[in-house]
Structure 1
Amino acid sequence: MSTEKLTEDDIGKDVVNANGATVGVVVSVEDGVAHVDADPDITDAVKAELGLNDVSEETFPLHPGDVSARTDGELRVTDVAGVDER
């Protein structure tokens, strides 16, 4: 698991579970915690890239310890409650 703080550079990245399924997109990062929209559409993805999305009831938090791998386009997660079922 990563202990690196999540940053604004992670906004717009797909969040992918252990099964390889995309479970959301990072829409904002506050104090090192990413907020993931679990049901994004193309508009949400574009808004995230432009920094126009905020934390809402439709997002869930993703902490640095939840991330098992990080690439330019995605954050891989394992053992995050509710994520593997999506």
Structure 2
Amino acid sequence: MSTEKLTEDDVGKDVVNTNGATVGIVVSVEDGVAHVDVDPNITDTVKAKLGLNDVSDQTFPLNPGDVSASTDDELRVTDISGADGR
């Protein structure tokens, strides 16, 4: 698991599960918890990268302990509920 703190720099990153499937995109980070849209469309993706998205019914929280690795473009997550590629 990563010890990195989740920050606003993570907004717009893809969230990828252990199988390598993209399961969502980070739309906001509040108090170190990322909020992930599990069904983003192109508009959601662009809005997230511009910092214009908010938490909604279609997001789930992602805590720093759920992240196994972070790159410039994605957060890799451990098997957690909500990040199953729905």
What is the Cα-based RMSD across aligned positions, in Å?
1.0
Contact 1:78 1:84 (C-alpha < 8 Å) held by counterparts:
no
Give the aligned partner of residue 6 of structure 1.
Answer: 6
Report whether the alignment pairs 1:42 with 2:70: no
Once the two structures are overlaid, the 10-residue window that deviates more, 73-82 or 27-36, is 73-82
Aligned residues: 86
**Aligned 8 A contact 1:67 1:78 in 2:** yes
How far 1:85 sits from its partner (Å)?
5.0
Q: How does 1:1-86 map to 2 (within 5 A)?
A: 1-84=1-84, 86=86
How many percent of aligned residue pairs carry the same amino acid? 81
Kept in 2, the 8 Å contact 1:7–1:29? The answer is: yes
Distance in 2, Cα, partners of 1:2 & 1:46:
26
Distance, in Å, in 2 between the alignment partners of 1:4 and 1:84 is 22
Q: Is the 8 A contact 2:38 2:85 kept in 1?
A: no
Between 1-10 and 22-31, the greater mean CA deviation after superposition: 1-10
CA distance in 1, matches of 2:82, 2:49: 25
1:79 Cα deviation from its structure 2 partner = 2.0
Equivalent position SS for 2:20: coil
Specify every segment of 5 or more residues in structure 1 that has no aligned partner in the other structure, as ranges. none
TM-score normalised over the length of structure 1: 0.95
